[in-house]
Structure 1
Amino acid sequence: MSEQDEGRKGALDRGLSILNHLADAREASTAELAAAADISRSAAYRIVEKLSTYDFLHATSDGRWRLGPAAARLAMAAVHSADVADVAPELLRVLVQQTRETVSLGVLSGDEMVFIYRERGPQSVSVNAELGARRPLHATSVGKAYLCGLDPRERTDLLRALALTPFTPQTLTTTSALEADLAKAHSRGWTEEHGEFDLASACCGAPIFDHTGRVVAAISVAGLKDRVEPAMNRLGPLAVATADAISRRLGYNPAPTNVHLRPT
C-alpha cells in the first residue's frame, strides 16, 4: 500500500484491523500485522508501538505480538454488559426472513422454558404463544435444546426431577426415550420436535451459551408439521447458525473442535 493510500486509511482503522487480526490469530509478527491491515511495515511498527504503550498489545519474548491486558479489560466489559434479550432479536429477525417460520427465544424458569422474545413468520402456525408463555422441557425443541446445552451432570439431575407429562400421543414420557432423542440431536446438531406438544406443529431448536460456556437460553423455529418436517434439514442448520451467532455476541468462544450441543 502506498503512503497516500495509508493516509486515507485512518490510524483508528489501521489499529482496529490489527486488534481484530490478533483476536483471531492470537499471535503475530509486525510483518504479519502489516499484511493483515494492508499497510507498510513501518506504519504497522508505529501503530503496534503506540498500542503497546497503552497495554492493548503485549510483546512476547521472541518479538511477536499478542493482545494485552487493556484489550482484555475492554472485552470483559463488553461481555458482561451483553444480555441475550438485547443481542438476540436482530439475529432472530434475520432467521425469520430466512425460514419464513415463527422464531422464539426461551430461557429456563423452574423446570420449564419461558418465551422472552417471539417473532412471527409470514406462514401460519398451529399455536400462537405470547411472550411469557411457558413450555415443557421434554416436549418442545426449545426445551430439548436447553437440555442439550447443559453439562451432562446438570442434565441428568434435571431429567430425574422432570415430570414427563404427556401432551399428545407423540410426547416422550420416559427418561430413556428422552435421553435417546437428545443423543440423536447431538449427532445431527439441533433438536427436533414432531407433534409432541401440539399434534399439528413441528419445530427445531438450538442452545445459546454465554462467555463462561454455560447455556443461558435456546431458540426454536416452529410451524405447521406438514410444512416444517420436510424442511428440517434446511431449517435445523439455520437455527444452529443463528444460535451460534448469538452466543458469540455474548462472548462465547468454543474451541475449534467443540460441537454446538454438549455430549449426552
Structure 2
Amino acid sequence: MSSSVQRALRILVELSSGPLTISELGRRLDVHRTTSLRLLRTLEEERFVRRSEDGRYRIGPLMAALAHEALEGLDLRAAAHEHLRALGASSGHTVHLAALDGDSIVYLDKVESRQSIRMYSYVGARAPLHATGVGKAILAHIDPQERGSLLGAPPYPGHTPNTRTDPGELAEDLARVVDRGWALDDFEHEEFIHCVAAPVRGATGRVEAAISVSAPEVTLDREDLLGLVDDLRATANAISNELGWSRT
C-alpha cells in the first residue's frame, strides 16, 4: 500500500473520533502541514471529509453513507456462525444465537452438543424472554418502560418452579445481569436444562442479540457451567466486534 493511501486512511480513522484542524492532524500523523492539506483536499473533493466554517475537518457525507451501507449489510447470523462453532467445539455443549422478535426471542443459529443427550431446540423456534438465558441477556438492556410492554401484566407465565414470575424478582435478576455481564437460566425454562448467556452488541453499542451455552444437568453441573462464562463472554465480544462494536 502506498504511503499516501495509508495516510489518507489514517486521516479517516482520526476524524472518526471527532473534528480536527490541519495542524492537529499533522501532529497525529507526524507529517508536514502541506502533506495533510494535500490529502484533505483530495478527500474533500471526493466527499470523504468536509471542512467546517471553523476550519476543522470532519467525516463527510460519502464516508457516512458508506459506513451506513456497510452496517446495513452485516448479517448477524453470518457474522456469528464461526464464533459459535468455535465455542461449541471448545465447550462440547449446545450453543445458541437468539434475537428479540416481538415479545419473545427467536433462535437464529444453533451448534449441536457433542453429548449423546441433545436439546430439542431448533433454528426458528421461539422462547419466552423472562425464562431463558438469552432472553434475560437481551431484556436486561432494554429500557424499563419498553421491558414492561414486552412482558405484559404480571405474574409472568411460569414454565418451571424456578421461573421468575414476580416483576420484582425478575428486575433484581436483570440488574445482576447488567452488573456481571451475563445471564443464568437456572432451570427456569426447562426443569433439567440450565444455561449461561451473554449479550451481543451492534456498532452503536445497542444489544442486538445474545448467545448461550446450554446443557442438561446430568451432563454439566452448575460449577462447570459457570466455568464456561469467560469463554462465552469472549465469544460474545468477538461477534460484537464483527458487527462494528468496539469497547473504548
Q: Does TM, scored on the shorter chain, surpass 0.5?
A: yes
Note if contact 2:96-2:107 (Cα within 8 Å) is conserved in structure 1: yes
Q: Which runs of 5+ in 1 are unaligned?
A: 1-7, 257-264
Structure-2 separation of matches of 1:99 and 1:19? 40
Matching residue of 2:169: 177
Matching of residue 204 in structure 1 with residue 163 in structure 2: no
1:1-264, aligned counterparts within 5 Å? 9-23=2-16, 25-30=17-22, 33=25, 43-60=35-52, 63-97=55-89, 99-122=91-114, 127-161=119-153, 164-210=156-202, 215-225=207-217, 227=220, 229-231=222-224, 235-247=228-240, 249-250=242-243
Cα gap change, 1:17/1:139 in structure 2, threshold over 3 Å: closer, same or farther?
same
TM-score (ref. length: structure 1):
0.74
Amino acid at match of 2:119: V
Note if contact 2:155-2:167 (Cα within 8 Å) is conserved in structure 1: no
Structure-2 separation of matches of 1:101 and 1:185? 22
Amino acid at match of 2:214: A
Q: Which runs of 5+ in 2 are unaligned?
A: none
Task: Summarize deviations over 1:90-122 as a string: whole Å, max 9, x none.
Answer: 333344355444321112344332211112354
Task: State percent identity of aligned pairs.
Answer: 36
CA-based RMSD of the aligned residues comes to 3.4
Amino acid at match of 1:219: I
The answer to which of 29-38 and 47-56 deviates more is: 29-38
Cα gap change, 1:78/1:232 in structure 2, threshold over 3 Å: closer, same or farther?
same
Matching residue of 1:5: none
Structure-2 separation of matches of 1:98 and 1:9? 41
Number of matched residues? 247
**Aligned-partner SS, 2:146:** helix
Query: Which contiguous aligned blocks of 4+ residues in structure 1 show a shift greater than 6 angstroms?
Result: none
Cα gap change, 1:59/1:125 in structure 2, threshold over 3 Å: closer, same or farther?
farther
TM-score (ref. length: structure 2):
0.78
Task: Summarize deviations over 1:99-154 as a string: whole Å, max 9, x none.
Answer: 44432111234433221111235466662422122222222101112211222111
Amino acid at match of 1:181: D
